[in-house]
């Protein structure tokens, strides 16, 4: 049975989670930080989702130009961040103008993922797109982490190696969900489905 979900950040503002729940959403990932910058709506959204029947998980967005250890130390200071219902998610993507990884990136990222697992007590989920995976997540060790794949306008998600096509955890199938309909302050909201 598929679980309907959303993932949100400062771009969606404060969410009316009662409305979100009424639309059938049962899981939400809430961005806690972008590098060393706390998401301005994290604390309020993290608190307000409580009691709605929606499982919550934190999204952490590491910036390659900064120390991964320093970023994780910062993330661990977010209020109640370790109390998510589901595993934390690490957002692996690169914005325009952002420094692209060098040869040491994959090893450094694996070290970060293992440290997150140790600190949170749950193996983190990787969020990424097929293009990023093919370019920067080539080591077979990445396949041990659950994958939330961002893949739009397709009938089924493209799952590159090192993941197995039938084993994806979640699929972000739209970045153009109706934000107002789902209780967000924004025009759009990311929509996901999860296998478990």
When comparing pLDDT for 15 and 94, which is higher?
A: 15
Q: Which residues contact 101 (CB under 8 A, 6 or more apart)?
A: 64, 136
3-state helix, strand, coil in the chain (%, to 5): 30, 25, 45
Q: Calculate mean pLDDT across residues 156-173.
A: 94
Q: What tokens were used for 79?
A: 């209020």
Question: In the chain, how many domains are there?
Answer: 1
Q: Which residues contact 154 (CB under 8 A, 6 or more apart)?
A: 173
Is pLDDT at 169 greater than 80 in this prediction?
A: yes
Residue 157 belongs to domain with CATH number: 3.20.20.80
96: alpha, beta or left, given left = phi > 0 and alpha = psi -120 to 50?
Answer: beta
pLDDT for the residue numbered 94: 82
Nearest to 49, CA basis, from 32, 26, 66, 71: 26
pLDDT for the residue numbered 101: 75
In our burial notation (b when 16+ CB lie closer than 10 A, e otherwise), range 34-49 reads bbeebbebbbebbebb
In sequence order, what DSSP letters do the residues of 52-77 get, joined into one string?
Answer: TT-EEEEEEE--TTS-HHHHHHHHTT
Q: Check if the beta carbon of residue 162 is closer than 8 Å to that of residue 138.
A: yes
pLDDT for the residue numbered 34: 95
Strands 89-91 and 55-61: parallel
93-132 pLDDT per residue, tens? 987 666 667 778 999 999 999 999 999 999 999 999 999 9
When comparing pLDDT for 115 and 196, which is higher?
A: 115
Residue range(s) defining the domain that contains residue 32: 3-194
Is pLDDT at 137 greater than 90 in this prediction?
A: yes
Q: Calculate mean pLDDT across residues 66-92.
A: 93
In sequence order, what DSSP letters do the residues of 106-166 get, joined into one string?
Answer: HHHHHHHHHHHHHHHSSPPEEEE-HHHHHHH--SGGGGGS-EEEE--SSSS----TTS-GG
pTM as predicted: 0.95
pLDDT for the residue numbered 99: 64
């Amino acid at each position: 049975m598929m679980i309907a979900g959303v993932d949100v950040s400062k771009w969606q503002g404060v969410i009316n989670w009662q409305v979100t729940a009424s639309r059938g959403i049962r899981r939400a990932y809430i961005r806690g930080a972008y590098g060393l910058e706390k998401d301005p709506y994290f604390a309020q959204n993290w608190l307000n989702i409580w009691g709605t029947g929606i499982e919550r998980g934190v999204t952490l967005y590491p910036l390659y130009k900064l120390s991964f250890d320093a970023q994780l130390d910062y993330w661990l200071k977010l209020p109640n961040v370790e109390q998510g219902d589901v595993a934390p998610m690490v957002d692996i993507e690169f914005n325009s103008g952002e420094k692209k990884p060098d040869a040491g990136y994959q090893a450094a990222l694996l070290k970060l993922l293992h440290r997150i697992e140790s600190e949170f007590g749950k193996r983190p989920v990787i969020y990424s797109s097929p293009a990023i995976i093919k370019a920067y997540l080539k080591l077979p060790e990445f396949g041990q982490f659950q994958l939330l794949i961002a893949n739009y306008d397709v009938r089924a998600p493209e799952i590159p190696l090192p993941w197995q096509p039938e084993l994806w955890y979640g699929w972000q199938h739209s970045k153009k969900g109706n934000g107002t309909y789902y209780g967000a302050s924004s025009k759009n909201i990311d929509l996901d489905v999860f296998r478990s």
